[in-house]
Amino acid sequence: MEYSRRKLKEEKVFKDPVHRYIHVRDLVIWDLIGTKEFQRLRRVRQLGTTYLTFHGAEHSRFNHSLGVYEIVRRIVDDVFRERSQWNKEDRLLSLCAALLHDVGHGPFSHSFEKVFHVDHEEFTKQIILGDTEVNEVLSKVDPDFPKQVAEVIGKTHDNKLVVSLISSQIDADRMDYLQRDAYFTGVSYGHFDMERILRVMRPREDQVVFKQSGMHAVEDYIMSRYQMYWQVYFHPVTRSAEVLLSKILHRAKELGAQGYSFTYKPLHFESIFKGQFTLQDYLKLDESVMLFYFQVWQEEKDPILSDLCRRFVNRNLFKYVEFDPAKEYRKHSELEALFKKADIDPEYYLVFDSSSDLPYDFYRPGEEEERLPIYLMTNQDELRELSRESSIVDAISGKRRTDHKLYFPADFLKDGSTKRNIKRQIRSLLDI
């Protein structure tokens, strides 16, 4: 029997706190889970630095990837199976893309990518198409299969229905992470009736649509997304940890560029400091490795790097104040000058943070075709955009809400042993 159709003798299950069980019957899926590139996801947290705010948020991208796979499996095996617009031949492609959609994520990937100008999507592509165990498994299905999977994940595959299962405004990825992140953080916001949503899903030529009778379940999902955004993803303490992490990486990069002699040589970072980062280098750099460096860099001679690492490791985070950049951008220049006078480098210790710097989004009705919206399907088979039918969704998608904060080390500013007057001026400007 051809590899793509081979099944395990017995179904394997993974116990999962969100979906109860993850069911695996396909040999291809079982083999992909066993690859070293996929196993690496156990060492990359799903929510980055959020564990410093919500201590339960230690779950990994491995958990999440299995969860996305399970949701897609339920859709293609149960919900779509007998639907005429669903082509059963697309089943394995959908499952593999779901399982591998995050395989290129690196350690603390949001900050890491910003500092080193790399892109996890590019690494996902390289893992699927390059000389890897994942590629070896996928190629056994068909030599062209890795390319197909990469295109679905990259959203450039011509089968838009399959793409929309994994990447759209209501996809398996979001449905898993909202529930999983809510479960592990312990908040009560991210819950919605996924079973109901799955029951009202219908395949269309270009995307998944939802029966109008299921609108309230979809509304609930949109509300969960909105609340999780503000309550978890953009939590100011998590942002503070993210600011610190980003500054550690910036400092290490800066020192690397200056040819600084590290007491503990950052072997895992050397190639990226030189701009010669290969896939193999990337795969070696997980969060365990990164945290090891933060641990040893606490003893570095460079006072900025060691201080930032001590703060991160011991959770001595920066404090923050609300900041209105439109009215206060001149004040920011003043603060920068005062920080310099106080011998506190503003590049590392006075950090402005905006809600636009976040890899999560709200629902967008896509009024000008900039994004594909969620469509409800009436009994007459007509499609209607969600926010036009739901006043709740209209209320939250029509309003712009943004947020800006200024982060700084309050302990430095309160330390009266040096530059007391200047620090007093800073505190006064920050109103602390």
Of 274-333, binders to another protein (CB under 8 A) are 324-326, 329-330, 332-333
- At its nearest, how many Å lie between another protein and the CB of residue 243? 14
- At its nearest, how many Å lie between another protein and the CB of residue 114? 8
- At its nearest, how many Å lie between another protein and the CB of residue 348? 14
Size of residue set near another protein by CB under 8 A:
33
| C-beta of residue 216 within 8 angstroms of C-beta of residue 349 | no
| C-beta of residue 304 within 8 angstroms of C-beta of residue 348 | yes
Query: Rounded CA gap, 136 and 143, in Å?
Result: 10
Contact string (CB under 8 A) for another protein, positions 356-395, x = contact: xxx--x--x--xxxxxx-----------------------
- At its nearest, how many Å lie between another protein and the CB of residue 402? 5
Contact string (CB under 8 A) for another protein, positions 157-176, x = contact: -x-x----------------
CA distances from 393 to 196, 198, 375 (A): 18, 19, 13
Query: Rounded CA gap, 56 and 225, in Å?
Result: 19
* Maximum C-alpha span of the chain: 80
Stretch that binds another protein, among 23-31, 65-73, 242-250, 354-362 (CB under 8 A): 354-362
| C-beta of residue 104 within 8 angstroms of C-beta of residue 133 | no
* Count of CA atoms in the C-beta half-sphere (13 A) of 8: 13
- At its nearest, how many Å lie between another protein and the CB of residue 257? 17
Element holding 8 (H helix, E strand): strand 7-16
Backbone CA torsion sign across 45, 51, 54, 59: positive
Contact string (CB under 8 A) for another protein, positions 332-351, x = contact: xx------------------
Q: Nearer Cβ to another protein, position 34 or 359? A: 359
Q: Contact residues for another protein (CB under 8 A)? A: 119, 121, 154-156, 158, 160, 206-207, 324-326, 329-330, 332-333, 352, 354-358, 361, 364, 367-372, 400, 402, 404
